[in-house]
Structure 1
Amino acid sequence: MQKITTFLWFDHEAEQAAAFYTSLFAGSRIVRVQRQGGEGAVMTVEFELAGQRFLALNGGPHFTFNEAVSLYVDCESQEEVDELWGKLTADGGEESRCGWLKDRWGLSWQIVPRRLPELLNDPDPDRARRATEAMMGMQKIDLAAMEKAAAGG
């Protein structure tokens, strides 16, 4: 087990969430499902997303997710952004601003094209400002629109 593992508290959907999350990313898998009494209800699910280990607990309705913690996904392309955005907001997920969303369980994600930090930190302050202003008006990041804004179009 890695030294530090992200621990996620669910009401009673840990196994469903882990199965969904592992379906989204290559190199992901369910590692172990621990059941109460060996065959009872699911207690914890250990899983990996693209090599990063997580532990999910069915802990009941005492705690919920909020935006103070999010999972940041570095996307290689607009197509990857579009695909993940669609899947994570489906079935009750919620779009937010600037590339943030909540999935159907309320877990916050940042779905970010790799080019975004370059646009926001452009050495030309006017290009960076225009890119930032464009991003602030978006929910899902539209890289082509940001590139156009940065160029002054």
Structure 2
Amino acid sequence: MRLVMALLSGLVFGLGLILSGMTDPSKVLGFLDLAGNWDPSLAFVMGGAVLIGSFVFPFAAKRPKAFLGDAMRLPTATKIDLRLALGGVTFGVGWGLAGYCPGPVLALLAQGDAKPWLFFLAMLAGMAIFEVLERMNGTPKHKAI
């Protein structure tokens, strides 16, 4: 049942990314181009996600387990620190340079184009470097609540 729900969740998420235009790098770059030909349409996509999240996350935080029985794993950090700010800046720079972010690039891999695959491989390399640095520092990623 968990695999079926994971598959359905991924399909719904991917379909939402495709329908919203998040898988089109030129649309994403147009949204990020505040000084040029700005395309504000993705603000509605992000606003919808923030709105839904503002209702769902407080509800999820009160639950000891997810609907399918796994432990709830939510972030434990509550402060904006240098590490978080640098992570956000790094993400934003990568997003702005490539026009891709992790979710949409996964949906684009099936197209077979080289650019999403290059981004994906670079993303995996960045994740591996992060894991190595985390292990060296002994910093926990998250804990089950």
- The two structures share one fold, judged by TM-score above 0.5: no
Computing the radius of gyration over CA atoms, which structure comes out larger, 1 or 2?
1
Higher helix share: 2
Higher strand share: 1
TM-score, normalization by structure 1: 0.22
